[in-house]
Amino acid sequence: MAYPGYGGGFGNFEGQMPGMQMQMGQAVPGAGPGMVPGCYSGYQAYSDRYSQADDPMWAYFTAVAGQDGEVDAEELQRCLTQSGISGTYAPFSLETCRIMIAMLDRDYTGKMGFNEFKELWAALNAWKQNFMTIDQDQSGTVEQHELSQAITVMGYRLSPQTLAAIVKRYSKNGRIFFDDYVACCVKLRALTDFFRRRDHLQQGFVNFIYEDFLQGTMTI
């Protein structure tokens, strides 16, 4: 029996990225489930259409990236806290920042370059908008059934048992905070990407060797 389906959960992000002054919760151009034929819902990463010097985020990135031109987890945490991207919600934990970097760390350096930073910023805007839509009373948390609904809206086609396991993992006393919501979104996308790269026929079946499985999941 084929795996019940899995989506990108990330949306399509194209066009010019907003600057740091963008109001959080504002829609990112082109954001959406981005369904494509077959078992997966897809996403397109940010497409760089102009030079870095002209980018409104370049100066900000270079200020936090340091001499190596990349951002590690602690630098990303400071960056996101200073940017106000969490709004009235609690700032992101260092662990969430680590898995954010792991999601886009294609060269396994443990750091994030400028294009990856912009890609993350686009995803965070979309996830923040989704969370604010669910968190209608602005309590800073959402209920367990609302997280399940949000995961489905993002394009993931999961069994009730899998959804229940995810909700149990990321809820605290029956509620899900924004930091945990983002951590869940990041983990879903990273694990989906890891699986999809090995599912060449996109049928929901993959053969893993033990160490490949460990290396893939331990780096996320």
79-86 long-range contacts (CB < 8 A, ≥24 apart) are: 80/124, 83/20, 84/24, 85/24, 85/121, 85/124, 85/128, 86/178, 86/179
pTM of the predicted model as reported, rounded to 2 decimal places: 0.73
Q: Which pLDDT tens digits describe the chain residue by residue (220 residues)?
A: 333 344 444 433 332 223 333 333 333 333 333 322 233 343 334 444 445 666 777 877 887 887 888 999 999 998 888 888 888 888 999 999 999 999 988 888 889 999 899 899 899 999 999 999 888 888 889 988 888 888 888 888 888 899 889 989 999 988 999 999 999 999 999 888 888 888 888 888 888 889 988 887 887 7
C-alpha span between 135 and 128 (Å, rounded): 10
**pLDDT at position 193:** 87
C-alpha dihedral, 98 to 29 to 20 to 16, nearest 10°: 100
**pLDDT at position 30:** 31
